[in-house]
């Protein structure tokens, strides 16, 4: 997914957006709007979320009022939903790589600013729920502190001013079209990290487009590089999911010759929204068979043009029979690369096998091998009451 232009200059300061870039605000927004609209007999369409991403609160409210023909003015609607959002600030989780990025830049003395279209009081309330965030930023600029929010450059120019630096010394990290437009208008370098699936083409004016914060390479911009990659893999904060193995698209073994043990993505929509698409690895436990090395793809599989995000684990073991319906538990502990498209089926198959080799080797490292004994994988399933 990554796309870039030649780096034109080096930078010394970083300005980061908050909602959709550092925080998974979209997930909470979807939940709140779904519930609110349901009481009015209307159904929230999460696929229309692009209409509110990157907007000021009033602009986002206006879009919802218009799209759903609500019997309120935009001001009335905003006043009704603002308390609902305020109650959820501390339930908004960081996106993959957010804590890592903030810690890395802060520990290396890189000045950072936070610039969001949200009111400053909302920004400060959100980041207060995350240890070490507030003190990591040299400046925090809210949309209510400038005359015009994004896509106007004002908010980024104000952030540079408060850091006592020139706009040309700043690198902006953004998820939205409005944010990328604002960064360009401020004559800053811009990295786009799309929060809405399949929106890369709309962000092509950015200096670089990356799949997620995990894929940032700050050394491209003269900033200190990350030092935490190990043999082509990135250790991540472990996360765990499980459920019965379901039948997928039937292409794993039939088309690719690589049988995958699929889980229902619908059951994990919230946790999947926190984790970027890409290739991950870890350990897999089958309730009646044992624990195995595993590599998995999360995403839309561009070659097959999936319309929904899927979870497709490949257990690195030869099985004599299918195990549909069997309980599968996954400990996801590392990241390999962003999801990508391929020019041919052969190149896709070759890359999947290469990912398998990378995972197989990495899982022998003590750092990763220790998770094989995770209680989530080794504890027996609770007995059924039936």
Active site residues: 17, 19, 312
Among the listed residues 168, 77, 164, 88, the one whose alpha carbon sits nearest the alpha carbon of residue 122: 88
CA dist 50 and 55 (Å) reads: 10
For 296-332, give one letter per residue: b (16+ CB within 10 A) or e.
bbbbbbebeeeeebbbbbbbbeeeeeebeeeebbbbb
CA dist 84 and 92 (Å) reads: 13
The two structure tokens encoding residue 83? 């308390």
- Per-position DSSP letters for 336-373, written without gaps between them: EE-----SSHHHHHHHHHHHHHHHHHHTTSHHHHGGGG
CA dist 100 and 186 (Å) reads: 27
Residue 167: asked if its preceding bond is cis (omega within 30°), the reply is no
Residues 6+ apart with CB under 8 A from 161: none
The two structure tokens encoding residue 27? 């997930």
Among the listed residues 216, 168, 158, the one whose alpha carbon sits nearest the alpha carbon of residue 192: 216
């Amino acid at each position: 997914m990554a796309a870039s232009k030649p780096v034109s200059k080096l930078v010394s300061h970083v300005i980061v957006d908050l909602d959709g870039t550092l925080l998974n605000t979209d997930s909470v927004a979807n939940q709140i709007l779904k519930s609110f609209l349901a009481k009015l007999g209307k159904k929230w369409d999460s696929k229309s979320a692009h209409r509110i991403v990157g907007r000021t609160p009033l602009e986002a409210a206006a879009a919802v009022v218009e799209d759903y023909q609500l019997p309120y003015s935009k001001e009335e609607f905003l006043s009704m939903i603002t308390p609902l959002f305020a109650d959820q600030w501390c339930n908004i989780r960081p996106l993959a790589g957010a804590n890592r990025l903030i810690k890395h830049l802060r520990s290396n003395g890189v000045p950072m600013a936070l610039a969001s279209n949200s009111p400053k009081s909302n920004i400060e309330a959100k980041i207060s729920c995350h240890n070490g965030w507030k003190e990591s930023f040299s400046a925090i600029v809210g949309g209510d502190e400038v005359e015009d929010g994004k896509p106007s450059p004002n908010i980024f120019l104000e952030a540079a001013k408060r850091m006592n630096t020139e706009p040309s010394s700043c690198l902006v990290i953004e998820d939205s079209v409005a944010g990328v437009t604002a960064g360009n208008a401020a004559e800053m370098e811009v990295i786009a990290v799309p929060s809405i699936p399949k929106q890369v083409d709309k962000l092509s004016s950015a200096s670089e487009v990356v799949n997620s914060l995990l894929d940032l390479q700050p050394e491209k911009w003269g900033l200190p590089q990350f030092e935490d990659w190990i043999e082509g893999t990135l250790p991540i904060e472990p996360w765990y999911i499980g459920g019965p193995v379901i039948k997928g698209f039937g292409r794993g073994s039939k088309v690719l010759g690589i049988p995958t043990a699929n889980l229902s993505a619908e059951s994990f929509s919230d946790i999947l929204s926190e984790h970027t698409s890409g290739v991950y690895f870890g350990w897999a436990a089958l309730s009646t068979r044992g624990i195995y090395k595993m590599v998995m793809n999360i995403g839309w599989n561009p070659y097959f043009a999936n319309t929904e995000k899927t979870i497709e684990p490949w257990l690195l073991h030869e099985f004599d029979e299918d195990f549909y319906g069997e309980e599968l538990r996954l400990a996801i502990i590392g990241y390999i690369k962003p999801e990508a498209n391929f020019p041919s089926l052969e190149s896709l198959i070759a890359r999947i096998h290469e990912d398998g080799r990378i995972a197989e080797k990495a899982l022998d490292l003590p750092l990763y091998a220790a998770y094989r004994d995770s209680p989530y994988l080794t504890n027996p399933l609770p007995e059924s009451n039936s």
